Structure formats: structure tokens, C-alpha cells
Amino acid sequence: MGKIIEINGPLVKLQLPETVLGEQVRVGRIGLIGEVIGREGDTALAQLYEDTAGLRPGEVAEGLGWSLSVELGPGLLNAIFDGVQRPLNAVRDKSGDRIARGVAVPALSREQRWHFVPDPRRHENPHIVGGDVLGTVQETASILHRILTPPLIHGELMELAPEGDYTIDEVIGRVQLPDGRIEKLQLFHRWPVRTPRPFKRRDHAVKPLITGQRILDTFYPLLKGGKAAIPGPFGAGKTMLQQQIARWCNAEIVIYVGCGERGNELTDVLEFMPELKDPHTGRPLMERTLLIANTSNMPVVAREASIYVGITLAEYFRDQGYDVVMVADSTSRWAEALREVAGRLGQMPVEEGYPAYLGSRLAAFYERAGRVETLAGDHGSVTLIGAVSPPGGDFSEPVTSHTKEIIQTFWALSKELADARHYPAVDWLESFSGYVPSAAKWWAENIDPGWAAARAAALDLLAASEELQRIVNLVGVEALSSEQRWTLEASGLLKEGLLQQAATDEVDSFSSPEKQYALLAALLEIYRHGMKLVKLGAPARRLIQMPLLSQARRWKSQHKSDDLVALQAKIARIPVEFEQIAVDYETTAPVREDKATP
Amino acid sequence: MKNIEFRTATSAQGGLLVMGGVTGVAAGSRVQIRDHAGRLRSGLVIRSADDAVLVEVFEGTDELDLERTWVRFLDEPFKLPVSRDILGRVFNGAGLPRDGRPPIISADRRNVNGEPLNPAARAYPREFIQTGISAIDGMNSLTRGQKLPIFSGGGLPHNRVAAQIVRQAKLLGEGASSFVVVFAAFGASHADARFFQESFEESGVLNKVVMFLNLADEPVIERLLTPRAALTAAEYLAFDLDYHVLVVMTDMTAYAEALREVAVLRGDVPARKGYPGYLYSDLAEIYERAGRIKNRRGSITMIPVLSMPSDDITHPIPDLTGYITEGQIVLGRELSNQGVYPPVTVLPSLSRLMKDGIGKNFTREDHPHVASQLFASYAKALEVRGLAAIIGAEELGDADRRYLQFAEAFERRFIGQGEEEERSIADTLDLAWELLSMLPAEALIRVSEEELVKYHKATVI
Ligand SMILES: Nc1ncnc2c1ncn2[C@@H]1O[C@H](COP(=O)(O)OP(=O)(O)O)[C@@H](O)[C@H]1O
Ligand SMILES: [Mg+2]
């Protein structure tokens, strides 16, 4: 038993001789929890996860003997936890609308009974190793929870409970370790959040994560097991984009971490998720979702922990053989929490107050993403998508620039696009993806062999129009040749008819890969037909007036992904539309409208 | 302990007082300091150890004589007594009366820091508030329980806009303003405070207003308490007494500057422009107190006013605010100079909760599309205007010239309106269609074809 020596904001100095760095401590009469972040002789420095007001020097303090850990077992899905995995609904039952300090509620319910079905393989061979599946619990209608042998345990399984209903506290098995000790097994186990969970080996990520967002999937794809960042100034659409991904992506488990952001955004997710159906399974989305919330008004120290809690839960589902997506909104708040701790410890700041290890911490965090072969020989993945909130929207600041070095897919949001309400405001010139070759393979095999070429053609068109727009802004559109004007028009068509996608529009909100490709190919076809005519001498002015152009801009919100027949019919009519103009030019020799560019 | 006066100060400078020889002092506890002249000051324990207790003194440590300073530890945080009687009253930043009337006596005294609302207990704001101002209702709608700041600059009419919102804000279908108002001014000038007081008086709502004033010449540290006291009162009115509360706070920049001043005294590591790294969390503790709670009738809608230093929206104060609040109404100097009132610069303005509180069942079915179309068309019109400035308007094609006219009309007639003019949402949307009808229907992609037929003045399909 130790005691408090000094209280200084969230930092307390304790007299606690036997402690080690990272150990959890319980402090004061109201029992606030925290962790040891420094030691000197008999004293320890601890940061507490809750407000320290009211603590007094001399009050008790004790080490708990473990580092910050999470409980892993049935009851995780369909739930919302705080940054240190306290279940917020249970906390509400206990302390009301506001989170009272020192409320202790276990992460997983001790009362609920789960129907456990033992894995028949365990009877064939009693030797088990960490990660082996002991049995299953149908946790929600869409997710089968595989009960895993804790990673560090291996030995002879002496006993495994028969099929039946158990609470997570009950013993469902016993294993004899090599040293003869007997270890009890339960439906859950604990794992320290700052230690990555082990796996057999890393696998190559090969399949794209389909998000249903055209600018992402078609232009800057992400793979299952990949890492992506969404930087953008406030209001550019980071949260909406992450919510769209959480809603529509074809992962099996989604972990949404609200890290230092708005309370209402989590309420929003909590309200819409149960009502929406997973487009891939038809089940309510909430059944595959779990939320971690440390909102901006909740204690900062727990903010730093929340990201690790999230990623550990993600790894746990990965180890069950699932494809997991974790979105973190926002990693900048996590970095700022890190900065605050460093500042209090008196560590030397290097850039904008951040400690020198910012880059390596970020890298180590993103390194926990990936597709792996699990200890049990299955395949699972963790895809990480972090929002970044650069101060003043300046991408050269430390968190954005370090993150950019680490991730493979960069979805840069632009204030200009957001201001004009071009959503998602993903900047098609600033963004990049290192996963295009792998994605191309998948698109070619599953959707259309022409995908890579079409994508490249569209990007070329967008880049060319950028150049033309610069000219227009200097001298006006009249200075462009007909070909150039048509190029500019076609890029506008691409932006409005394909890149823009309204999350709020029921039809447009999600685009299947088939629909994405159909639209992309159709708009390019319009461009090419027009270009052919322009080269034959048709003035761009005339083409621009074709009703087809404004009609095609509406297709995305007129045709649902699961019913593309009518869209295909419209696309099939594209050549016909142009034929009517073509008759005027095809017979006569090409007359070029010769207005040179300056 | 709260009855003992200690005379053990070991140092006093820069607003910080160090006390020796006092043991077991609670962190965050309030402190009462009696100086040699018998004057009382108040403070807060910011660090507590048995050998030294650090106290932040709100009125400053000037002229404190260590030998003749008596300190009492009150053993509790700053609390505000609350009761129904706070309505119609004026308090200082620490919650003491400044209207010459007796203090509020109540057994119900609340910690001004509040406690974080459990995200699982929040109810998402969805009720559209009509402010009668087209630029807000039409394009940046406010909902009950939202926090929507006004980003402004010196000399711009933010006070008048805020007062107009307070006067006119109502739910659709309801008569007069259905809100009670909590008004907090920190670092505000006497003139600003008087302006609001008179405006409340004129509209006859004074008995529905609670004011917390900490003026520019009053203690800086008390400024840090003012919004907290005001929000404690607001929470009581909203969640205990079921009122819909509109909180107007001005000026968040003065608040943040006070925070910086104190941070420097405490020796905290600065992050950007000298502001401490915790400015974000500190502002969030304030802003996040807005909202609605499941199974409670009342709500807190928050309109903080913030002047952007040098009109720079990337300055840490507006920047961090924008990262926390649910949008922002940005006032612009250019429009203001052209005589447009209210000078709302719509493109950088945003209401994040608008999407969930407008449209069918809330305002009118065409509202979401019309708003989106106005943004797109106006953005395009501004591009054309930029071009016209370079090549001359006469060089523009026909189509572009229409955009130029649209921009003019939009700024004068849609954004611009009278300070006493209250437009219904239907009027705002009709006006929007009138203006959009200046543009060809083919250019209006964000509205549906059905809407074009129904509302576009020149469309017959
Ligand atoms: N894809 C989208 N579709 C429709 N509206 C969007 C989209 N993305 C962003 N928005 C609008 O922009 C607002 C701000 O987006 P948000 O994601 O909250 O920004 P950030 O998290 O970057 O601050 C939203 O409230 C919404 O109105
Ligand atoms: Mg956000």
C-alpha cells in the first residue's frame, strides 16, 4: 500500500516502492485508476484517467499488478466503451447521464449467459496452443465469436465444457501447462493493450476493401489489411467519410474509435447503425460494430489509451479469422494527448511541442494493421483508417507529415472542394494509393479487365483539365480550342457525375463496384465520342448543349447498385445521342476551329 | 479545515501563491485569501503536496504581503448556487450578483466544471430552429441542442446578428421565441454588455435571461470561470427545469487569451502561437456542454461569438473551435463593407447538423437540394466573378454573365436582409428558387428533375 505525495493536474506523485512502469494503480478514497509513467527511488509518477480534483496528499494508493489490459470475449459487439474499456451503457445505468468519477464496471457483463459450442477438433487432439479455437458463441446473428486459447498458453487440454450456456466467469476448460501447473480457461481472456497480439506470419494484402465510395474504391483503393489516412481541415468531411466507410465497407467487423471528437457524432452512429442493413449480409449494421468513445470533453489521459484499446480489440477479432476495419477519428487528438503527457514529464519537445518519438509511436501503431496467418492457421486482417486533423489545415505539420510517410493510402481532403460542397472532398491530385496494382488485379478478375486503363484515362483527363482551368482563370474560356473546351467539359462531367457522391442521398450513398465501373466507363465513353466529333470539326459549344450531359450527371442518384439494368440501357444509347450530331460532320471534311492557346 | 486561516505563504508572484506547512489540501479546492487591508480574494489549488500548496489567485497577487496574508482552504471546488430565481438576474464571472440584488440562496450548489456527459446518454439534435435569417436557415440551419459559433472580426456586426437570432429563434409552428437565454460576456467591453442588455430589454425578455458578465477591465482569471458558471446555470435550466436554453457567449477569443496568460504563469509548454496544448480540450469542455439528453425535455443550444485575430480563420482559436463545434457562421468584411447585413460569408460557413434537421417532415422536401445547389451555384459564380475581374465582364460569355448577375442578386437579396426582418423558411426557400431561376435548369444538377418542374420559374419539361 502506498500513498499520494503530490497532485498536479492529472499527474500524481505516489509513494509506491514496488511498482513498475506501465502498472495500473488505484488512487485515493474514490479509487481513481491510472498508470505509472515514471519512477524515481521509492516514488512513482502516475497519470490518472479521470479528473483528480478532490484528491489529497496522504490518501491511499496501490499498484494493481497489471498493465492496461482489455477483456476479450463475447459481449464486445453492439456495444460502446470508453477509452479504458468501461461499457458506457452500464456506466450510465450506474451513474446516470454524466460519467461520475471512480465508477468501476467490468467491460464484459458477468451476468449474461452465452451459448457455447465446443470445437470438435479439441477432442481429437488434446494438445492446444495459443490461438486455438476452443469453441464458438453466436454473439450476434451475423457474427460467430470464436473462443480462443489465450495466445501465450499451450499444453494439454484436460477438460472442455460441453455445449451449454455459460457466463464469462465460469470455467469452461482446464489446461495443463508444460511445467505441470493447471490453467483455467474461460470464455474471455485479458490482453495488455500496448503489446501487439502475436500471429504466425504476415500475409500479403490482396483484396480491396470495398467502401462503396467511388473516389476511394475506383481511384485511391485501400486493401484489407492496409493502412490509410484521411487528413483534412475542420469541416472537410473526415468524420462523414469514416462513417460512410463504417456503414458500407465489406469488412466483417468494424471498430469505430471516437478519439477526442464530438459526443454527438457517436450518438449519431449509435442511432443510425442499428437501423441500417449491412449491404453484404442484410443484417443490422450494429451487429458487426463496436464503438470506443473518448470524446473531447472526456479526460485526456484516457484518450491516449483509447487508440490502443481499439487496435487490441481489432487484433482479437483478426485472430478469430475476421477482416476487421478500425477507423480512428482523430489520430491527431491521440498525438496531442501524447504531447501533453510528454510535456508534463518535462520531455524535450522537438516540433510544435511534440516529443521526438511522435513518428516512431505513430509508425508502431499503424504497424499493427495487416493481413496475417493467425496462430490457429486462419487468415484475418486489420485495416486501419486514421483521420488526421492538421492545425489550420496545414499538411506540413508533424502529425500529418509523419503519418504520410507511414501509410499507403492517402485520402487528402480539400477545403476548397468542401466549401463548394463537392463531397466527398477528396482531392484527386493530392491523394495517392500504393495499392493500385493489387487492386487492379482484383478489378480485372471480378469486374472488368478494362479497369486499370479506364482509371488511368480518367485521372489523365482530370490532370489535363487542371492545366486548362489555370488558363481559363487567366484569359477566359474563349481562348481554348474546341478540343480543350470539350476536355474541360468532360472533366466537369466526371467530377459531378462520378467523383461527387452524396452520403445523404439514399441511392448515391453506396455504389457497388459494378456500378462504379459502369459509371466510369460510360462517362469516358461520352468523352471519347465527343472528342471524335470535335476532331471532325464539331464545335465544343454545340456538344456542351447536349441534354445527355446534364442527364448523365444524374445517373448516379437514379440507379441503385442492385438494379443496373435501366442504367445499362441508358449507357447503350450514348452512341445514338452522338450519331445525331455526327451526321452533320462525318461527310464533310474536318474543319478545325482554330483558336490557339496562348 | 475550512475554518482555519493559515498565515504560511512562502511566495507570491505572477498570480501564484505558494503556501507551506499545510497538509492534506484537496486538489482543485477553492481558496479564500484575506490581505493586509482586509480585502478578500479568491483562488484555486492547482497543485497540492504536503510541503507546498500552489494557489492561483483570481484577483492577482499584486500587493500581497506574505506576513499579512491569511488563507483559508474551503475544501470544495467552485460551486454555483442554482434555483429558479436565477432567471432575470445578472452575475459576475464567479456567480456573485452584480445587479445590486441579494445573492441566490440555495442548498443546490453545483460544481461549475460539470461532469462529462456520457455519449450513450445524448440524444441527437434534429429539431430545426427558424432564426428568420435566410443565410442561416436556408444554407446553415441551426438545430435545437447544436453548438454553432459566429466567427467574426473587429468592427463586424456579430453582436447584432447574435441579438437578432435570440429575438427571432423559434421552432416551426411555435409563436414567439421559445427559449430562455443564458448570456455570458467575458472580456467584453461595457458597450457590448450594454448593447445586449438593452436588446433583451427592448424585446421584453429580460425576465427570461440570466447574465454572467466579466468585463474587459475585470480580473482575467475570473474569465476562465465565467463560461463555466454560465453553463452550469444553463444545464440546470435545461435538464432540471426542462427549459430550452439558448446560450450566447462572447468573446471566446478573450477567453482563450486569458487561458494563455494563465498557462504562461504556470509555465506550461506552449503548442501554437503561445497557446497551451490543452487549449483544445479546455474549449471542448465548454462547447460540449451543449446538447440534448435522452428522456429529458430541455436542451442547450449554444451560440459562441468569436473574433478571429486579423480575420484569420486558421488562427488557433477559430481553428480549434471549428474542430469542436458543429459548424460555424462566418461573417466577412468584404460583404459588410458593401453594406450587406448580415454579412454571412456562406462558403466557409457550415452547419454540420443541418443534414439531419431539414427536408421532408422537418422544413420542406426540397430544402436539402436547394441548399446544396445554392452552394454550388454561388461557388461557381464567384469563380466567374474572379475571372471577370481579370478579363473584364464584357469578355464573358452569356452563360457566365448570368452567373455574375446571380451572385449580385444572391448577395443583395438572399444574404442581405433587414435587422428586424424575419423570414419564414418557406419564404427563404421560395426566394432561393427565384434566384436559382436566373440560371438555366440544365445547370442545376443538385436539385431533382421533379423539383425543377415544381419550382424552377423557367422550366417546363
Ligand atoms: N460525403 C458527404 N456527403 C454529404 N455531405 C457531406 C459529406 N462529407 C461531408 N459532408 C458535410 O460536411 C459536414 C462536415 O463533415 P465532417 O465529416 O463532420 O467534417 P470533419 O470531420 O472533417 O470536420 C457534414 O456535416 C456534412 O454536412
Ligand atoms: Mg470530424
Kindly report, residue by residue over B326-337, the tens digit of the pLDDT: 999 999 999 999
Same domain, A182 and A233: no
Note whether A551 contacts B: Cβ–Cβ < 8 A. no
pLDDT per position as a tens digit, A306-341: 999 999 999 999 999 999 999 999 999 999 999 988
Does one domain contain both A466 and A428?
A: no
**Residue A441 lies inside a defined structural domain of this protein:** no
- Whole-number percent of chain A with pLDDT over 70: 98
A106 lies in some domain: no
**pLDDT in the model for residue B266:** 79
Chain B residues whose beta carbon lies within 8 Å of the beta carbon of residue A293: 119
Per-residue pLDDT tens digits for B80-131: 999 999 999 999 988 999 999 999 999 999 999 999 999 999 999 999 999 9
Alpha-carbon span A153 to A266, nearest angstrom: 37
Nearest CB partner across the interface for A476, out of B113, B327, B395: B395
Helical (H) or strand (E) element with A150: none
Q: How far is A219 from chain B (nearest CA, A)?
A: 23
What is the ipTM, given to two decimal places? 0.93
Distance of CA A26 to the CA centre of its chain: 33
Whether chain B has a CB inside 8 Å of the CB on A496: the answer is yes
- Contact state of B289 with A297 under an 8 Å Cβ cutoff: yes
Contact A271 B50 (CB under 8 A): no
Residues of B whose CB is below 8 A from A98: 114-118, 121
Angle at which helix A331-344 crosses helix A358-366, to 10 degrees, equals 140
Let me know if residue A79 belongs to a domain: no
Boundaries of domain holding A387: 201-436
Q: What is the pLDDT of residues A135-194, one digit of tens each?
A: 999 999 889 999 999 999 999 999 999 999 999 999 999 999 999 999 999 999 999 999
Nearest CA in chain B to A544: B442
Closest residue to B390, CB basis, from A92, A349, A474? A474
CATH number of the domain enclosing A132: 2.40.50.100
Q: What is the pLDDT of residue B217?
A: 84
Going by CA atoms, what residue is nearest to atom 8 of ligand 1?
A: A237
A235 touches chain B (CB under 8 A): yes
Q: Cβ distance A536 to A585 under 8 Å?
A: yes
Q: Confirm or reject CATH 3.40.50.12240 for domain B80-357, answering yes or no.
A: yes
Residue A296 has its nearest CB partner, among B46, B288, B314, at: B288
Residues of A in contact with B114 (CB under 8 A): 98
- The mean per-residue pLDDT over the stretch A91-97 comes to 95
The reply to whether A582 falls in a domain is yes
Same domain for A176 and A310, yes or no, is no
Residue B175's pLDDT is what? 64
Indicate if the pLDDT at residue A461 is higher than 60: yes
A496 vs chain B: nearest CA distance in angstroms?
8
Pocket of ligand 1 (CB under 6 A): A 232, 234-240, 423-424, 502-504; B 350, 352, 355
Is A295's Cβ below 8 Å from some Cβ in B?
A: yes
Q: For residue B368, list chain A residues with Cβ-Cβ distance below 8 A.
A: 504
Are the CB atoms for B300 and B235 separated by under 8 Å?
yes
Determine the 3-state secondary structure of A337 from DSSP.
helix
Q: Is it the case that residue A446 has pLDDT exceeding 90? A: yes
> Is residue A88 in some structural domain?
no
Is residue A153 located within the same domain as residue A261?
Answer: no
Q: CA of B301 to nearest chain A CA: how many angstroms apart?
A: 13
- Distance from C-alpha of A491 to C-alpha of A500, rounded to nearest angstrom: 12
**Average pLDDT of the residues in B295-317:** 95
CA B128 remoteness from chain centre: 18
Q: What is the CATH number of the domain that holds A504?
A: 1.10.1140.10
- The per-residue pLDDT for range A362-383, each reduced to its tens digit, is 999 999 999 999 999 999 999 9
> CA–CA separation, A159 vs B442, rounded Å?
73
Neighbouring-strand partners of residue A71: A190
Give percent of chain A with pLDDT exceeding 90: 84
Model pTM score: 0.94
The pick from A240, A241, A498 for probing ligand 1's pocket by mutation, whose C-beta has the most ligand atoms within 8 angstroms, reads A240
Check whether residue A181 and residue A205 sit in a common domain: no
Determine whether the interchain pair B27/A52 forms a contact, defined as Cβ–Cβ distance below 8 Å: yes
Give the residue among B350, B301, B307 at the shortest CA–CA distance from B157: B307
Cβ-contact B247, B184 below 8 angstroms? yes
Domain boundary among A407, A436, A465: A436
Question: For A4, which residue in chain B has the nearest alpha carbon?
Answer: B49
Cα–Cα separations (whole angstroms), residue B329 to A76, A256, A424, A442, B139: 40, 29, 21, 45, 10
Q: How far apart are the first and last CA of chain A?
A: 82
Establish, for the pair of chains A and B, how many residue pairs have beta carbons separated by less than 8 Å. Answer: 212
| pLDDT confidence bin for B262, thresholds 50/70/90 | confident
Contact A554 B449 (CB under 8 A): yes
3-state secondary structure of A322: coil
DSSP 8-state code for residue B131: -
Residue A232 shares a structural domain with residue A185 = no
Subunit contact B114:A98, Cβ cutoff 8 A: yes
Q: How close is the nearest chain A Cα to the Cα of B368, in Å?
A: 9
Mean pLDDT taken over chain A: 93
| C-beta atoms of A6 and B326 within 8 A | no
Cβ neighbours of A129 (radius 10 Å): 13
A509 and A421 in a common domain: no
- In chain B, which segments carry CATH 2.40.10.170? 5-77
What CATH number is attached to the domain comprising A316? 3.40.50.300
In a domain, A93, yes or no: no
When scoring A49, A94, A97, A300 by the number of chain B Cβ atoms within 10 A, the one with the most, hence best to mutate, is: A97
Chain A residues within an 8 Å CB radius of B327: 235
Q: Do A476 and B23 touch (CB under 8 A)?
A: no
Cα A380 from Cα A370, distance rounded (Å): 8
Nearest to B391 among A92, A391, A476 (CB): A476
Ligand 1 centre distance from Cα of residue A418 (Å): 8
Are B342 and B133 spatial neighbours (Cβ–Cβ below 8 Å)?
yes
According to CATH, the topology of domain B5-77 is: Thrombin, subunit H (2.40.10)
Kindly give the distance from the C-alpha atom of residue B277 to the centroid of ligand 1, in angstroms, as a whole number.
Answer: 26
Same domain, A582 and A470: yes
Atom of ligand 1 nearest to the CA of A503: 3
Q: What does the angle CA A555 – CA A561 – CA A567 come to, to the nearest 5 degrees?
A: 40
Q: Do the domain assignments include residue A362? A: yes
Inside any domain, residue A91: no
Whether chain B has a CB inside 8 Å of the CB on A274: the answer is: no
Bridge pairing between strands B128-130 and B142-143: antiparallel
Domains identified in chain A, total number? 4
Q: Is the pLDDT of residue A598 over 70?
A: no
CB contact under 8 A, A477 and B347: no
What three-state secondary structure class fits B307? strand
Best mutation site among A423, A504, A556 for ligand 1 pocket (most ligand atoms within 8 Å of CB): A423
Q: Which range, of A100-109, A302-311, B58-67, B325-334, averages the lowest pLDDT?
A: B58-67
User: What pLDDT sits at residue B461?
Assistant: 43
What does the pLDDT average to over A476-485?
A: 88
Residues of A in contact with B319 (CB under 8 A): 234, 391-392
CA B217 to chain A, closest CA, distance in angstroms equals: 29
> Which residue of chain A is at minimal alpha-carbon distance from B378?
A420
Q: Which residues of A touch B291 (CB under 8 A)?
A: 263-264
